[in-house]
Amino acid sequence: MKRYSLFLSLLLTFAWATTLSAQSLAGISVEARSVPIVVYVDNTQVCNPTYSCYVALPRGNYRVRIEMALERLRPRQRVIYDRNFYFSGYGTEYIDAERYISRDNVYPGDRDDYGHPNRDYPFVTNSKGYRLRPIAQQTYQALREELKRANFKSDVEKVMALYPADAGVTAQQFKDLCSVPTFDSSRLVVARVLASQVLDIENCIKMSDIFSFSSSENEVRDLLRKELDFRYGYNKGW
């Protein structure tokens, strides 16, 4: 019976939005700030990698497990919270996952003796929790052609909305794709989507040759800084 109730509650599970009102469902709210997490209730995954998750639950005893969505860590290293608890079925129980996250686990050995990012890892996990794989050349060329045909900002937005979440680009490809649209407003649409997808993000230093306005350049640089800091805890020199 509890399994059936849990299944029904999963239909009401969603990423916690700031607009959620206090009058809503009873359940648990799990939040993190520095790394995406995955939440399990009674060994059932109830959310995709996210920074904030709400799970509607009926009254009962549950086991809650929270894992960091970082595939480079061993399975046991990902687990930051694993406890049994009784839920009354009223109100919201809050779990601050951030307090259980160790910075040593989030960034294990990501810097060399000089404090620069270590590129020995066979893959990169971005701040959205996706393990990036190099974009196929055919896909890259097709994307470039679609951006060429996109005459308006709204067209560019439609093209980039279809971008694969796990497709990684090189710094050179990032700069190339951002340069395709004619105007900064459209170039920013591309940059905002791709900033978290750059595999060698530390090489995205010079951006002034892409954007016409310094405000556009500064916005993209900030996005890249945040992504670099998430991955390596390092953005010195930017």
What's the pTM value of the predicted model, to 2 decimals?
0.49
Predicted confidence (pLDDT) per residue in 14-39, tens digit: 333 333 444 446 889 898 877 788 99
- Identify which has the larger pLDDT, 200 or 8: 200
CA distance 43 to 62: 10
Sorted by where each starts, the structural domains of the chain and their CATH numbers stand as: 2-106 (2.60.40), 124-232 (no CATH)
- Identify which has the larger pLDDT, 117 or 183: 183
CA distance 235 to 238: 6
Q: What are phi and psi of 94, to 5 degrees?
A: -105, 135
CA distance 151 to 149: 6
Question: Quick count: other Cβ atoms within 10 Å of Cβ 124?
Answer: 20
With beta carbons less than 8 A apart as the criterion, state whether 130 and 165 touch.
yes
pLDDT of residue 182: 92
pLDDT of residue 13: 46
With beta carbons less than 8 A apart as the criterion, state whether 67 and 87 touch.
no
In sequence order, which residues have a C-beta less than 8 Å from that of residue 142 and are 6 or more positions away? Answer: none
